[in-house]
Amino acid sequence: MRNVSGSVSSRGIAAVVGVGPKLGRSIARKFANEGYTVAILARDLGKLSTFAEEIAREEKTQVFAIRIDCSDSRSVREAFEGVLSLGFVEVLIYNACQQPLDANWRPISFTDIPIDSFQKSMAVSSVGAFHCAQQVMPGMVERGRGTVLFTGSSASLNGMAGYTELCCGKFALRALSQCLAREFQPLGVHVAHVIIDGVIGFPRSNLRIVGGEDGSMDPDGLAQIYWQLHTQDRTAWTQEMDLCPTAPSRR
């Protein structure tokens, strides 16, 4: 675990699992900007530490980089031992997803998918989310508050030819989020599933809307919606939100 110096926020910890250069980093930056101490988790500790240093420098807050392999239950437990040693987790955002066999996300025939690749994808998309939620849920229930947000995709809703691994994992994640919402929202824990129904681009610093002129979705704009879900009045808690890009501009 690596960290950047600063004081730990009394607001608690925002733990963001699955932090890359787009959505995960933007979510972490948003919660840091709002005064949270942020723990960012992913497999590549080198890249993660760079993100942590960048966010800490920009937001002048403490950011912890913690390695995690979401397909390995022991790794999840050890990672969250580190997270929970910092304080109570107020927010868990699960944004992890297994890279497909084709790095360009082109479809792959069902008969060409190795069973170990399918199992790994399921482990990261759904079993990892299960393990991470189990680490923080008892503390949230004890305090009677907390937020758990799961990142879904178009594959959460519809099976697609050539994307068996992704769809099966995301379908299971959606079911998990619905089960947890119905069990734990009456106990004060807000659980929601965010469906990203489009392509996420890189942040556009002067554009704070969801959907840019090229049709891609601005991760900073999406991060704002994750924040709004966290701060949503509990009398109107959302269990699922579907986010689509706006139509490209023709001007």
Sign of the torsion formed by the C-alpha atoms of 90, 67, 28 and 93:
negative
Query: Looking at the domain assignment, is residue 251 inside a domain?
Result: no
Most confident of 104-113, 142-151, 156-165: 142-151
Burial (CB count <10 Å: 0-12, 13-18, 19+), residue 186 = exposed
CATH number (domain holding residue 95): 3.40.50.720
Query: Looking at the domain assignment, is residue 131 inside a domain?
Result: yes
Query: Looking at the domain assignment, is residue 136 inside a domain?
Result: yes
Task: Name the domain count of the chain.
Answer: 1
Query: Looking at the domain assignment, is residue 250 inside a domain?
Result: no
Tokens of 233: 């009045």
The pLDDT of residue 210 is above 80: no
Q: Which domain holds residue 212?
A: 2-243
Distance between terminal CA atoms of the chain?
Answer: 48
pLDDT, tens digit (0-9, with 9 covering 90-100), for 184-193: 999 999 999 9
Query: Which pLDDT belongs to residue 246?
Result: 54
* DSSP β-ladder status, 2-3 and 63-67: antiparallel
